[in-house]
Structure 1
Amino acid sequence: RKVNDPPLCNHQSRSSASWYVPVEGCIVQLPDGFHKWPSPWPARLSDIPPSLPSSGPDAEESFRKDTVHWSSLISEVYMSGGFNVNWSSVRNVVDMNAGYGGFAAALIDEPLWVMNVVPVDQPDTLSVIMDRGLIGVYHDWCESFNTYPRSYDLLHASFLFRNLTSRCGVIEVAAEMDRILRPGGYLLIQDDSETLKRIAPLLKSLHWSVSVLRDQFVVCKKGFWRPSVS
């Protein structure tokens, strides 16, 4: 360009940050590797994303392992009869801690769609999710989640609760999940046993059916309970 206006963004800054940061009047530079069109859909789901963080030598291997992990977990665990999830009733899904988007990618053959959420206090992987052809947003789970114009059929939270910031706790997030999940909807949680021991009683107090499986999963179904009028 003859005139550097607006300028290119500083590589040292988190150019894709969107939460409590001032808007910069600059153009985000494309990362190395953006020199060709992405693979056709759905091959791009499993291709190495150009925006994959390259801070470590094992980034590509980590991405591949994550893809295999979620493919196995979905087919061998989440879709198994022991989880008692009626997947035929599930259309709208939120992955509350999406990472690379492996959960959504593993469900690509199912008749549903997944909103991938990257918590603002977790590694910034939203560009990786977008490169895979998936959709996603940043969000701070200490605040309300914009669900307009729908509620969701299933919420998925993998190791979300143990990483909550000090600004809020499990109670606040549980109340928000109760708000955005439709009656009859499902919640799937994977976390360590100590975290599950704190979460399960709280969800039962909301009159949800709660099952703890394999000491690392909680499967919940939201009921139709409403406070009685005295």
Structure 2
Amino acid sequence: PDIAWGKRSRVVLDVGCGVASFGGFLFDKDVLTMSLAPKDEHEAQVQFALERGIPAISAVMGTQRLPFPGTVFDIVHCARCRVPWHLEGGKLLLELNRVLRPGGYFVWSATPIYQKLDEDVAIWNAMSKLTKQMCWKLVKKEKDAVNLVGIAIYQKPFSNECYEQRSQNEPPLCEQSDDRNAAWNVPLQSCMHKVPEGETERGSQWPEEWSARLQKAPYWLTGSQVGVYGRSAPEDFTADNEHWKRVVSQSYLNGMGISWSNVRNVMDMRAVYGGFAAALRDLKIWVMNVVTVDSPDTLPIIYERGLFGIYHDWCESFNTYPRSYDLLHADHLFSKIKKKCNMPALVVEVDRILRPEGKIIIRDNVEIINELETMFRSMHWEIRMTYSKDKEGLLCAQKTFWRPNEVETLAYALV
């Protein structure tokens, strides 16, 4: 009961999610689940999940960290996922420890918990030893009386006391120089980070209950910090939050002809503080907040609000199936990409990610808006709206079912 779904626990990572039914079930409890399936024979399950309107990504748990900051998920869940958590010194379980909040829970349901085959018993014994070394507390272990499936629930410690009392430094604590938030193309580390303990250190306190955490600046944003837009960090957060409330209510919901009841899968391609997603909270949608790797790291703030997201470099393709999002939102992203890499390539990536009849809303300078309008028209997209004022522009475009024929494809290739 201490998990308190949808109140204390809001943001969940489901590893080995299948077709994401667990995450879909939790929507009704006001819980947001990042469903993750490995890139193997189960990869197509991510497509099923997205088609159902449930958040899901395809990712590898093997050699590199997951693209999330440290200590952000309230719960990590793994049911029938067959991940060998106990092997290689527990390297994969240590990665879950990196992304799990202090005091957060690991909910595990697998055959080693409830079956007595030699292999299952050996895995359970290895997991018991490993979790004890990691100072995870076994809160609950039981078997369902009807289907005989068992579950074990572990809790990550709130403090470093247990780490300091271990007779052996195994698994080892990470070096102080190792940044728990570094996650983009960073190799997995077989170590544990200390639990944050300073009053203003992120992760030292549990967030407020949902939904109070959505609108409030995190306790670890202080006035001495400078925000993304140049104000003090708390003021920056509040101003951004009010800005997106105003934009969404006065423009996006009514002024663009978008039938929001038909929108479910949304991506904010440059999320900053997650204000756009927060402004949409009363709609039955979910938003994948993308924080670009070359911008200030605001993704922990997004998770603290009870939202979720991922790191990405838009000079590369996004790891999702084609035609899997209903609506994309890009606030001053394309002008930054133009300085860095290939803007037409990003337009093509947008075309790949978006469903036919899906829409994109772009805010940027007028020059970029004009370039993008030309590109979208060349792909036979419908331009739903353009607006400009003081060198700033707004574009809403809708993808159509048009695809180039062989002659047109050859012509584009020659150009």
Is the TM value for this pair above 0.5? yes
Q: Counterpart in 2 of 1:218?
A: 395
2:267 to 94, 100, 112: 94
For residues 125-182 of structure 1, the C-alpha deviation after alignment (integer angstroms, 9 at most, x for no partner) is 1111111111100011111112249600000000111112755221010000000000
The TM-score normalised by the length of structure 1 is 0.89
Q: Which stretch shows the higher mean deviation, 180-189 or 191-200?
A: 191-200
1:229 CA drift (Å): 5.8
2:190 is the alignment partner of 1:16: no
Identify, as 1 or 2, the structure richer in strand. 2
2:251 maps to 77
Post-superposition shift, 1:34?
Answer: 4.0
Structure 1 residues 148 and 191 mapped into 2: Cα distance closer, same or farther (>3 Å)? same
Give yes or no for contact 1:51–1:128 (8 Å, CA) kept in 2: no
> Residue deviations 1:52-84, cap 9 Å, x none?
476337110110111111100100111123x12
- C-alpha contact (below 8 Å) 1:51/1:127 kept by paired residues: no
Residues of 1 paired with 2:356 and 2:365: CA distance? 27
Larger Rg: 1 or 2? Answer: 2
Q: Which amino acid aligns with 1:55?
A: Q
How is 1:35-114 mapped onto 2 (pairs within 5 angstroms)?
Answer: 35-52=204-221, 55-56=225-226, 58-81=232-255, 83-114=256-287
- TM-score with structure 2 length normalisation? 0.51
What's the C-alpha RMSD, in Å, of the aligned pairs?
2.4
Alignment size in residue pairs = 228
Query: Which amino acid is the alignment partner of residue 224 of structure 1?
Result: F
Deviation of 1:91 after TM superposition, in Å, equals 0.6
Counterpart amino acid of residue 237 in structure 2 = F
1:1-230 correspondence runs (5 A)? 1-2=164-165, 6-10=172-176, 14-28=179-193, 29-30=195-196, 32=201, 34-52=203-221, 55-56=225-226, 58-81=232-255, 83-148=256-321, 151-164=324-337, 168-210=341-383, 211-215=385-389, 216-228=393-405
Q: Is the 8 A contact 1:96 1:116 kept in 2?
A: yes
Letter in 1 for 2:210: W
CA distance in 1, matches of 2:336, 2:379: 23
1:202 is displaced (CA, Å) by: 1.0
CA deviation string 1:33-55 (max 9, x = no partner): 64433211111001222454763
What displacement does 1:9 show? Answer: 4.7
